[in-house]
Amino acid sequence: MTTAQSLPLLSSLLAFCALPALAHPRDELGQASYVGITPSSVTIELSLTPGEQLVAPFAALAAKPDYPQRVLTDLCLSLDGKPLMLNLLPKPLTTGEQSTKLYFSAPLVSLSGGKHTLRFENHHTPLKSAYLAATLAGTDGIQIGQQTHDATQQTLTVAFQAPNHEWNLTLWLVGAGLAGCLIYARKRRR
């Protein structure tokens, strides 16, 4: 991430620090992860909500310029056992009255059609934390299957099915070939 990209994030984080953002339970940092899967990328939205007693410590932590990058290093993502490179998105950090949100994305360069397994791990523990993780509904032909969590909800494993683009391409080619044959046959008749 460039300095220019990180500036909106930092300013938003600083703005957040001034807000009375509080939540249950009072002595925990709530960390909810939302995993989105498309044929071309995996996105993670991490929503951080400090409990009443952790507002000041979290504000101090979040005010550090490298905080988003530190969070990034605590997240792990893999597809079918192979690690995926997560990037911090330059999307402006959302700071509501209650939660701070960070966004990450990992490109899927050549996702083949068929069954896959995605594994997401959140090891970010700057303060006593309570974790949640869930997968968003699949888009663009992605079908989400079984989701399993570990006991602390820090690890989420998702089975999913990707659409078969190769098969779609074959259908298009066959269709184009047939259309070409028809046009040629009509011209020959004339």
Partner 1 sequence: MKKAHLPLAICLACGLSGFAVYAHSAQAPKALTADATTKKIVEAADAFLATLSPEQRKAVSFAFTDTRQRANWSNLPSGLYRRAGLKMGDLTEAQQKAAQMLLQGILSKQGYQKVTDIVNGDEYLRQNDRMGERLNFGKAEFYLSFLGKPSQTSPWMFQFGGHHLAINATVVGKNITLAPSLPAAQPAKYTLGGKTIQPLGREMTKGFALVQALTPDQHKTAVRAPYFIDLMLGPGQDGKTLAPEGIPGSQLTNPQKKLLMDLLGEWIGNLNDDDAAPKLAEAKANLDKTYFAWGGPTTTGSAAYYRITAPTVLIEYSPQRMGGDGTNHTHCIYREPSNDYGAKLTSPQ
With binding defined as CB under 8 A, does residue 50 bind partner 1? no
With binding defined as CB under 8 A, does residue 149 bind partner 1? yes
Stretch of 16-24, 68-76, 109-117, 162-170 lying at the interface with partner 1 (CB under 8 A): 16-24
Nearest to 68 by CA among 93, 85, 50, 43: 93
With binding defined as CB under 8 A, does residue 20 bind partner 1? yes
Nearest to 77 by CA among 49, 113, 116: 116
**Rounded to the nearest whole angstrom, what is the least distance from the CB of residue 96 to partner 1 in the complex?**
5
With binding defined as CB under 8 A, does residue 53 bind partner 1? no
- Residue 126, preceding bond cis, omega within 30 degrees? no
Nearest to 70 by CA among 41, 44, 102: 102
Q: Whose Cβ is closer to partner 1: residue 22's or residue 76's?
A: 22
**Rounded to the nearest whole angstrom, what is the least distance from the CB of residue 108 to partner 1 in the complex?**
17
CA distance 29 to 47: 10
Q: Looking only at residues 61 through 90 of this chain, which bind partner 1 when binding is defined by CB under 8 A?
A: none
**Rounded to the nearest whole angstrom, what is the least distance from the CB of residue 56 to partner 1 in the complex?**
14
Which residues, at least 6 apart from 152, have a Cβ–Cβ distance to it below 8 Å?
131
CA atoms within 13 A on the CB side of 39: 12
CA distance 32 to 186: 62
Please name the amino acid found at residue 28: E
With binding defined as CB under 8 A, does residue 127 bind partner 1? no
Contacting residue, 14, 76, 127, 132, with partner 1 by CB under 8 A: 132
Contacts with partner 1 by CB under 8 A lie at: 20, 22-26, 30, 32, 34, 47, 49, 52, 96-99, 130, 132, 134-138, 144, 147, 149, 151, 153
